[in-house]
């Protein structure tokens, strides 16, 4: 007997959120980043790094699922600990402060934090460069454009005004996806990071290199978010929906992978389940738009989520995520953002979260 999608997703989500409770007990007030696939021991950070919002988001999903006051209090306290990132110099504030607050719809403090973050990001937009730079918060040069500076940042900027959100995405598209305004653009052509070098202008960075698994996933997620914000989409040139559909083709066409290689140039190397989870959420978002492709996107997203749960989830832990293949860092691990986007996709399928607004 075939289990209905919502029922199957609800069962899988319960398993993942059960592990969230165990993780919360293990890390206390620190933030989990990645865990050893064999021992389950977490590497943690004090402030959450760029993935702190994903941990807060997981706690909010748990609170929604259980309805328990203690779980809501834990999620609220975790989100409050992200406040130091509001004025941090990084476009990763979107990943941190959008996903750390978007599910906290009944928490006044979280909503106030999100509003402050939106205004801070808008104020930090570099008008000359046309984007919010990657920044100096994590070290290295600050005048970078990185594709992972899009997810969460675009909807966060949209709260302050559609023009700022559109400018940030438009400049990243022009740099990271050559030919983004044409029918010929392909996800494999994506250049994930660029550095602004004074008179020389924008130069491609060697790391992360083209073929990085999360590059196309982050970009597709940002485009899906924009399409649910018509005022932002209207400020973009060309056809952003057509672009999103062309990028989605890489995941829905014949021979498309359910889980990509962490590095497309090393098909015999590690895979990256976190990229697959992000993509599943993006496809679910696209499926909620009116149009003939919605059913195909929803079906493919469900196939990806089921594959992750059946083949890569062990006792609620999504394994085989790859943090950094080039450095050999956490190449088959449980990653907190992988867990979050898996749980968010399952919550969307189960009707626990409205993916148009998260």
What DSSP line would sit under 86-125, residue for residue?
A: TTSS-TTHIIIIITTTTT-TT-HHHHHHHHHHHHHHHHT-
CA within 13 Å, CB half, 156 = 36
List pLDDT tens digits, range 114-160.
999 999 999 999 999 999 999 999 998 999 999 999 999 999 999 99
The helix/strand count (H/E) of the chain reads as 13, 8
List pLDDT tens digits, range 217-233.
999 999 999 999 999 99
Q: Which residues pair with 111 in a beta bridge?
A: none
Structure tokens at 233: 């989409």
Structure tokens at 227: 């399409």
Structure tokens at 249: 């083709």
pLDDT at 2: 46
Whole-angstrom CA distances from 63 to 59, 123, 195 are: 6, 33, 40
Output the DSSP codes for 160-175.
H-HHHHHHHHHHHHHH
What is the mean pLDDT for each group of 10 consecutive residues in the chain (358 residues)? Answer: 70 97 96 98 98 98 97 98 97 97 96 98 96 96 97 97 97 88 66 96 95 96 98 94 94 90 94 98 97 95 97 98 96 98 97 95
Structure tokens at 202: 């924008």
Beta-sheet pairing, 202-204 with 193-196: antiparallel
Asked if residues 13 and 346 have their Cβ atoms less than 8 Å apart, the reply is yes
Reported for 110-117, long-range contacts at CB under 8 A and 24+ positions apart, including other chains, are 110/76, 110/79, 110/80, 113/79, 113/80, 113/82, 113/83, 113/86, 114/156, 114/159, 115/159, 116/86, 117/85, 117/86, 117/93, 117/156
Q: Answer whether 0.85 is exceeded by the pTM.
A: yes
pLDDT at 4: 60
């Amino acid at each position: 007997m075939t289990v209905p999608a919502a029922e199957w997703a609800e069962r899988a989500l319960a398993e993942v959120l059960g592990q969230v409770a165990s993780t919360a007990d293990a890390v206390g007030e620190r933030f989990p980043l990645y865990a050893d696939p064999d021992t389950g021991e977490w590497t943690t950070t004090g402030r959450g790094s760029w993935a702190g919002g994903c941990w807060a988001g997981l706690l909010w999903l748990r609170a929604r699922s259980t309805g328990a006051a203690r779980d809501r209090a834990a999620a609220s306290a975790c989100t409050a600990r992200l406040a130091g990132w509001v004025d941090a110099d990084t476009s990763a504030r979107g990943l941190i402060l959008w996903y750390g607050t978007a599910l906290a719809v009944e928490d006044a403090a979280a909503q106030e934090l999100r509003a402050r973050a939106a205004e801070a990001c808008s104020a930090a937009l570099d008008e000359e460069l046309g984007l919010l730079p990657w920044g100096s918060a994590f070290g290295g040069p600050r005048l970078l454009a990185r594709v992972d500076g899009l997810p969460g940042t675009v909807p966060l900027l949209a709260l302050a005004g559609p023009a700022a959100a559109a400018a940030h995405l438009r400049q990243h598209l022009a740099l990271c996806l050559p030919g983004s305004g044409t029918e010929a653009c392909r996800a494999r052509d994506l250049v994930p990071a660029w550095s602004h070098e004074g008179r020389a202008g924008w130069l491609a960075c060697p790391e992360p290199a083209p073929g990085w698994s999360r590059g196309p996933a982050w970009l597709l997620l940002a485009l899906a978010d924009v399409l649910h914000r018509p005022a932002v989409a209207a400020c973009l040139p060309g056809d952003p929906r057509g672009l999103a559909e062309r990028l989605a083709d890489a995941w829905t066409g014949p021979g498309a992978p359910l889980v990509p290689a962490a590095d497309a140039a090393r098909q015999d190397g590690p895979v990256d389940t976190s990229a697959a989870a992000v993509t599943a959420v993006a496809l679910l978002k696209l499926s909620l738009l009116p149009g003939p492709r919605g059913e195909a996107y929803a079906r493919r997203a469900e196939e990806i989520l089921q594959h992750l749960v059946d083949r890569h989830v062990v006792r609620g832990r999504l394994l085989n995520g790859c943090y950094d293949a080039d450095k050999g860092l956490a190449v088959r691990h449980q990653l907190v953002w992988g867990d979050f986007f898996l749980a968010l996709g399952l919550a969307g399928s189960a009707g626990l979260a409205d993916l148009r607004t998260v």
